[in-house]
Amino acid sequence: MHAEKPPFWHIGVIGGSGLAGGIGLEDAQEIAVASAFGEPSGLVTMGRIGTVRFTFLPRHGAGHTVPPHAINYRANIDVLKRCGVSDVLAICAVGSLREELAPGSFVAADQFIDRTTAREGSFFDSGVVAHVSLADPVCPRLSALTVEAIRAAGGTIQESGCYLAMEGPQFSTRAESRMYRGWGADVIGMTGMPEARLAREAELPYALLGMVTDYDAWRDDEAGVAVSDILAVMQANVAKVRESLRALAEALPEHRDPSPIDRALEGAVVTPPAAFDRDMLSRLDAVGARLQPED
């Protein structure tokens, strides 16, 4: 294997609802990047915050036109890999399954329960087979830095939590919401999976910053989830998220030490190179750059 990452930070940010206007990059340039896995959610914006390179991708596209179940998660991660990002920070709205996680607060999710069923969840298929480890799906280094950045911006954040990924686009029934609480989930959302799975296959350290917008439907004495309430909380927190990204940029070490996730495919690919399907390998030219044969 080859194509090691350079020793500098380039943070890819996948912005969810409320961040369609971007993250306030300096020297910003909006470009279209083609993917071997279809159409991504939209154009990427490349720029910097201070001295750190950032690339921003709106998860739901311009004008929020792509619903959670129709997002091309593979194309989005593939595009970020093609842009040369070193790490990925996903920002998304989540519903709370715990009384102590109040709307307006944040959570750095570090575990997932995946209830999605109709999404492409892997870059690998017949011809090149791989099984990456996902026991610890989030990069602890990036997640810890994100927690400190939110606190520096004046936000309240829980340092860990279990994210229940549901298919959507409808919200949970009360029975489902109570069941998820019993499973040990702390927050619920519609976009964390298969995004985290794909980032790991692409050897991209991934962290998820959940913006708590509401209590899910488990509270019997309250009305169900309403989009208007979610949007109001998100708009109130957008400035705090942007401020936290600047704090993150300032806190990053000058040099990026390698992460074990940078080499997640080592030992994960079970197909011998001589048996690789050439068409499949060509689609993996970005996410599986280190699988490509030497020139």
Tens-level pLDDT at each residue, the chain (295 residues): 455 787 899 999 999 766 767 788 999 999 999 999 999 999 999 999 999 999 999 999 988 899 999 999 999 999 999 999 999 999 999 999 999 999 999 999 999 999 999 999 999 999 999 999 999 999 999 999 999 999 999 999 999 999 999 999 999 999 999 999 999 999 999 999 999 999 999 999 999 999 999 999 999 876 666 677 777 777 778 889 999 999 999 999 999 999 999 999 999 999 999 999 999 999 999 999 988 887 5
Tokens of 235: 């708009």
Tokens of 186: 């702390």
Peptide bond into 272 cis (omega under 30): no
Checking 248-253 for CB contacts under 8 A at 24+ apart, the result is: 248/11, 248/49, 248/89, 248/145, 248/146, 248/149, 249/11, 249/49, 249/50, 249/51, 249/52, 249/54, 250/50, 251/145, 251/148, 251/149, 251/152, 252/9, 252/52, 252/145
Q: Which residues are catalytic?
A: 214, 216
Q: Taking the domain 10-287, which CATH number applies?
A: 3.40.50.1580
Supply the pTM of this predicted model. Answer: 0.94
